[in-house]
Amino acid sequence: MKIRQILLFSAMSTMTFTTVNAQQSPLNPETEKKIDLLMSKMTLEEKVGQMNQYNGFWDVTGPAPVGGDAQNKYNNIKKGLVGSMLNVRGVKEVRTVQKIAVEQTRLGIPLIIGFDVIHGYKTLAPIPLAEAASWDLKAIEKSAEVAAAEAAASGINWTFAPMMDISRDARWGRNMEGAGEDPYLGAKIAAARVRGFQGDNTFRSPLRIAATAKHYAAYGFIESGLEYNIAQIDTNTLYNQVLPPFKAAVDQGIRSVMNSFNTVNGVPATADRYLLRDVLKGKWGFNGFVVSDWASIREMIPWGFSKDENEAAKSAVEAGTDMDMEGGIYVPYLTDLVKKGKVDQKYVDDAVRRILRVKYELGLFDDPYRFLDEKREKEVIGSKANLEAVLDVAKKSIVLLKNEKNILPLKKSGQKILLLGSLAASKNSPLGSWRIASDNNTAISVLEGMKAYKTSSVSYVEGPKLTLEEPTFLTEVKYNSTDFSGIEEAKKAAANADVVVMVLGEHGFSSGEARSRTDITLPGLQETFLKEIYNINPNIVLVLNNGRPLAISWAAEHIPAIVEAWQLGTQTGNAVASVLYGDYNPSGKLPMTFPRNVGQVPVYYNHYSTGRFNGDPNSVFWSHYSDAEKTPLFPFGYGLSYTTFSYSDLQLDKKNYQKNEPVQVSVTLKNTGNVSGKEVVQLYIHDEFASVVRPVRELKGFELVELKPGESRVLHFTLTGKELGFYNAQNEFIIEPGTFKVMIGGNSDANLTASFTLE
């Protein structure tokens, strides 16, 4: 779908342009007529019923579901009081509820079935943060396509993904679900994921599903990384950092948006009329529907924003929240509010029209059972092709953080390799969080992956246990901090090994919703374990498992090789083994800055300068910490390869540009090592002086390039107003004249620099 953009330039000293979007996707007049006709037959109760979403019967992804037991829910579907269900899955189960809606209600309006398909359905891809580390938009799109196909084959029509919350706070558990800290990369990935889920937005294929941009907005900026908290956010950050991925998803044609649990500057996002009606549905022309987050309408009461259920219903619907997920608020209260004239019916009509539109687009009115085919379910879920696709993206997601003395890649024979750590043998943790439809213990463990390589010399010792009991999605992870037994056996084995591979980090359920942490070092006894082994045999490869940046300063200083392997899903062991043995040359780059310690958080590459950023180190009066360096441990965009690359010849086609002239940038990249490899070439800019202070650098282009040893290539980038402009204090997108710096390299510390002036 092409978006028409009209750029209006003013002739003032600053150039201002307003982006006016045509409809997000042209509305189909036939569909709109059908909606008119259907709505003319609907009672107010039936309309409000379309705005109600119930949880299903077994997967629970929030506190105490409303709506009673299954029988009660069936009865309400029959009465036309339910428009959607979540957490009902499998062709048989979905058919049961869909049949009630279609065959036993007065108007036969089908349900739309939603589910958290976050990084796969049964076949799991890496957690989304890991995938973002691939910077490979095709692979990311493919991964969402696989997830959509498996979910669709299981009767699901709508996923609550992708999450596109920009976050700079490693303490927040939900970093694992996003694409990291950068709005440019985040927007590209958001669009790729929407394409993967929705395809060309026609839904002609029964293997594509509607996607959800979540959580709108500023959820990644919740205070202290503490879940369900407030977000106090200035408009500069909101417009320039938080909103771009949402805008990109809307432009890509996304069909739904979920609001967030947090307040935005004092107003619950669920009732934020400005964000929902003015920006999303107004300025951006979004014509899908908005779903609340789980019970977020009801939670406005304990927030102290709504006095009671009536007020909550009124604020939410007037603001533009179209569907009530598990809040039990719209059905019992909204109808009456409209009847008594306290809420204008136009809000209900608008919400229902949007919901019905997406149901029509999904083809549910033509054939409510089109997603329900047992044969397809069997064929698609867990297919060989899906397993291959997730293996591909898993390899691409791995980031090599350190590799001294070429300890990696490992030798396929003639080397005694010892594998240590509970996580090395775990078939559960590598699946990561948010994988409710998949079966426990179905990942290929690192141990299995390594053994499958033709080498007789891998042995395994667990060492001190990671957790005291196996965690679940619904329980806290309890790390072992008392039982150090197992260390002696591990030490003995380490003394005899040529290389020790230690798989350490967080359990997969340590990140995700409600998994905020104040300590982001290796949890439990793992750092002590690492140090004890290091004293016996320092030839260690540390394989990290985590769903957020970790503070691993000691390891970064002492351990010769570190591989960031996140939680890579079903194919974890195969992906890790192929990188450790050198069959896949790692190419991932960090999508989030790694801090030295938790006290530095939030720490991010696109920060501001301050008036005393690089002060005189002999004076104390400059922006610094007294007890630690302020630079991060690993910067955004960082990642090594088994080969090396050099950058040279950064060129601009001119020195001075007129206001709407494109800036052409070129640079030469050379593979200077001995093996083929891929590099993510990153382009950053800095607007030197502006009416609003600008970040020290901002990513504005990247390209994933593969080169053979000795090969070089000239790469071209174009910068236009889109990349050079920013939202000012009045929330207008402007491009200011002045001097810009361009920096290109393999991470956000890129130091090959050129400058140009915009007249």
Active centre residues (catalytic): 293
In angstroms, give the least distance from the CB of 114 to ligand NOJ: 8
Given a contact cutoff of 8 angstroms between Cβ atoms, the answer to whether 574 and 202 are in contact is no
> Residue 700 corresponds to which tokens in the numbers above?
């504005």
Q: How wide is the angle at C-alpha 417 spanned by C-alphas 416 and 422, nearest 5°?
A: 150
In angstroms, give the least distance from the CB of 434 to ligand NOJ: 8
Rank residues 120 and 595 by Cβ distance to ligand NOJ and give the closer one: 120
State the Cα–Cα distance between residues 186 and 178, nearest whole angstrom: 8
In angstroms, give the least distance from the CB of 173 to ligand NOJ: 11
Which one of residues 150, 322, 361, 513 is an interface residue with ligand NOJ (CB under 6 A)?
513
- What b/e string do you get for 248-263 counting C-beta neighbours within 10 Å, with b at 16 or more? bbbbbbbbbbbbbbbb
Strands (E), 348-415: 399-403
Strand partners, 493: none
CA nearest to 67, candidates 313, 335, 325, 314: 325
CA nearest to 754, candidates 667, 694, 693, 696: 667
State the Cα–Cα distance between residues 548 and 220, nearest whole angstrom: 13
Per CB under 6 A, which of residues 91..110 are in contact with ligand NOJ?
none
Given a contact cutoff of 8 angstroms between Cβ atoms, the answer to whether 630 and 218 are in contact is no
Rank residues 151 and 563 by Cβ distance to ligand NOJ and give the closer one: 151
Is residue 700 close enough to count as binding ligand NOJ by CB under 6 A? no
Which one of residues 17, 135, 160, 604 is an interface residue with ligand NOJ (CB under 6 A)?
160
State the Cα–Cα distance between residues 347 and 313, nearest whole angstrom: 11
Q: Which DSSP string corresponds to 675-735?
A: S-EEEEEEEEEEESS-SS---S-EEEEEEEEEE-TT-EEEEEEEE-HHHH-EE-TTS-EEE
Check whether the bond before 624 is cis (ω within 30° of 0).
no
Rank residues 162 and 573 by Cβ distance to ligand NOJ and give the closer one: 162
Rank residues 251 and 293 by Cβ distance to ligand NOJ and give the closer one: 293
Rank residues 513 and 736 by Cβ distance to ligand NOJ and give the closer one: 513
Which one of residues 31, 32, 45, 62 is an interface residue with ligand NOJ (CB under 6 A)?
62
Which one of residues 61, 241, 306, 445 is an interface residue with ligand NOJ (CB under 6 A)?
61
Q: What are phi and psi of 381, to 5 degrees?
A: -70, 125
Helix, strand, or coil here: 649? Answer: strand
Is residue 228 close enough to count as binding ligand NOJ by CB under 6 A? no
Residue given tokens 């079903």 in the structure block: 570
Rank residues 270 and 287 by Cβ distance to ligand NOJ and give the closer one: 270
In angstroms, give the least distance from the CB of 727 to ligand NOJ: 26
In angstroms, give the least distance from the CB of 132 to ligand NOJ: 17
In angstroms, give the least distance from the CB of 294 to ligand NOJ: 4
In angstroms, give the least distance from the CB of 160 to ligand NOJ: 3
Rank residues 50 and 270 by Cβ distance to ligand NOJ and give the closer one: 270
Helix, strand, or coil here: 439? Answer: coil
Rank residues 61 and 546 by Cβ distance to ligand NOJ and give the closer one: 61
Is residue 529 close enough to count as binding ligand NOJ by CB under 6 A? no
User: Do strands 698-707 and 677-687 pair parallel, antiparallel, or not at all (unpaired)?
Assistant: antiparallel
Is residue 214 close enough to count as binding ligand NOJ by CB under 6 A? yes
What are the angstrom distances between the C-alpha of 717 and each of 430, 636, 651, 720, 742? 37, 20, 10, 10, 11
In angstroms, give the least distance from the CB of 322 to ligand NOJ: 15
Radius of gyration over every alpha carbon of the chain, rounded to an integer in angstroms = 26
Q: Answer positive or negative: Cα dihedral of 134, 139, 145, 147.
A: negative
Strand partners, 705: 679
Provide the terminal-to-terminal Cα distance of the chain, rounded to the nearest Å: 34
Rank residues 269 and 683 by Cβ distance to ligand NOJ and give the closer one: 269
In angstroms, give the least distance from the CB of 368 to ligand NOJ: 23
Is residue 247 close enough to count as binding ligand NOJ by CB under 6 A? no
Rank residues 62 and 382 by Cβ distance to ligand NOJ and give the closer one: 62
757: left (phi over 0), alpha (psi -120 to 50) or beta: beta
Given a contact cutoff of 8 angstroms between Cβ atoms, the answer to whether 450 and 577 are in contact is yes
Mutual angle of helices 345-361 and 309-319, in 10-degree steps? 60
In angstroms, give the least distance from the CB of 348 to ligand NOJ: 23
CA nearest to 425, candidates 557, 559, 576, 289: 576
Using CB under 6 A, count the residues that bind ligand NOJ: 9
Is residue 738 close enough to count as binding ligand NOJ by CB under 6 A? no
Which one of residues 93, 116, 136, 145 is an interface residue with ligand NOJ (CB under 6 A)?
116
Q: Which DSSP string corresponds to 164-189?
A: ------TT-GGGGGS--S-HHHHHHH
Rank residues 73 and 214 by Cβ distance to ligand NOJ and give the closer one: 214
Alpha-helix residue ranges (DSSP H) falling in 55-182: 70-78, 91-104, 128-132, 137-153
In angstroms, give the least distance from the CB of 412 to ligand NOJ: 43
In angstroms, give the least distance from the CB of 650 to ligand NOJ: 42
Q: What are phi and psi of 515, to 5 degrees?
A: -120, 50
189: left (phi over 0), alpha (psi -120 to 50) or beta: alpha
Is residue 657 close enough to count as binding ligand NOJ by CB under 6 A? no
Residue of closest CB approach to ligand NOJ = 61
Pattern 263-302, binding to ligand NOJ, x per CB under 6 A? ------------------------------xx--------
> Residue 516 corresponds to which tokens in the numbers above?
């905020």
Rank residues 61 and 574 by Cβ distance to ligand NOJ and give the closer one: 61
CA nearest to 497, candidates 538, 450, 532, 466: 538
Residues making contact with ligand NOJ (CB under 6 A) = 61-62, 86, 116, 160, 214, 293-294, 513
